Amino acid sequence: DQLNIGYAPTRPSNPDLKWEALKTTDVGFDAVIFHDFNVTFDLYNKKTTGMLMLLQIPYYAGYTNQPYANVGDMVNKGVELELGWRKTIGDFHLDLSGNISYNKNEVTYLGQTAYLDAGSFQASSYPLQRTQVGHPAFEFYGFKEIGVFQNQAQINAYQKNGTPIQPNAKPGDFIWQDTNGDGKIDQSDRTFLGDYLPKWIYGITFNPSYKNFDLKIFGQGAWGNKVFEGYRRLDVQKANYPIEALNAWTPSNPSSTYPRLSDNDPNGNFKNPSNFYLHNGGYFRIRQLRSVIMYQKLVAHADIKP
């Protein structure tokens, strides 16, 4: 006889789940100066308690997935500023405005839990993000590569007290930062690598008009965050690689950007979550570009009144 399981719980239930609570303190003002210039300022402090997160439980509990629980508190502090200016001189009119905001996210409480790990990518050796008190929620966490070994002499020279820090490395492998200074590379050398949430968000609107012509340009941007680029991984067989793979390290192409290509990846060049996969997420883009010319004769025939 063979026992087959049709359905089985993979995640324990939690009857104590409740909604997150949010308390906001907000101070601000609006002002108009000389009829043409306006200012809006806002200072806020948002405290979230009872964050809904996945709670780490031991595997011997018998479940393959982690349960949800209200296990954390965090705070978002920031400032928002908006400026605007309008001016009309004869047939010329100008409307110029801009806004910028700054936000700092910090986890303040996780109960008896030291940290919570989350996120992964294909066959990665470690989780990709970590939530820990004193840091932003879900901050990128991993190893820090500080270059590429170009030859065996460089590998031998990377040592502490006469002992090589990466004795099994080969030319073309990443140089991993010995974060804790113990003379070897292991999971204890992982560190916080950056936040996925932008610290700054801004926008600008430029809207001039003259007689029958009107132009509007709206731009938006963000700065202060990191973006994870999983497609940079080059050890996955039967996969499409970016053109950057052509610049991977070889003896005749001593690249300092991409490590050597290897199917088994003994140095963890691609399996290890690291700053190799992260890039600056800051951007600015034109969201709207519009120009309008109103022909008076056409408007008159269409019986359209401005």
Residue 176: name the closest of 134, 224, 126, 216 by CA: 126
Cα 167 to chain centroid, rounded: 33
Looking at residue 5, its pLDDT comes to 66
Biggest CA–CA distance in the chain, Å, is: 94
Q: How far is CA 216 from CA 46, 98, 276, in A?
A: 35, 13, 39
Q: How buried is residue 174: exposed, middle or buried, by Cβ count under 10 Å (0-12/13-18/19+)?
A: buried
* Residues 6 or more apart in contact with residue 3 via CB below 8 angstroms: none
* Residues 6 or more apart in contact with residue 176 via CB below 8 angstroms: 143, 144, 145, 146, 165, 166, 185, 189, 272, 274
pLDDT digits (tens, 9 = 90+) for 146-182: 999 999 999 999 999 999 999 999 999 999 999 999 9
Looking at residue 265, its pLDDT comes to 82
Residue 85: name the closest of 44, 135, 32 by CA: 32
Mean predicted lDDT score pLDDT of the chain: 89
What's the distance, Cα to Cα, between the start and end of the chain in Å? 84
Looking at residue 222, its pLDDT comes to 97
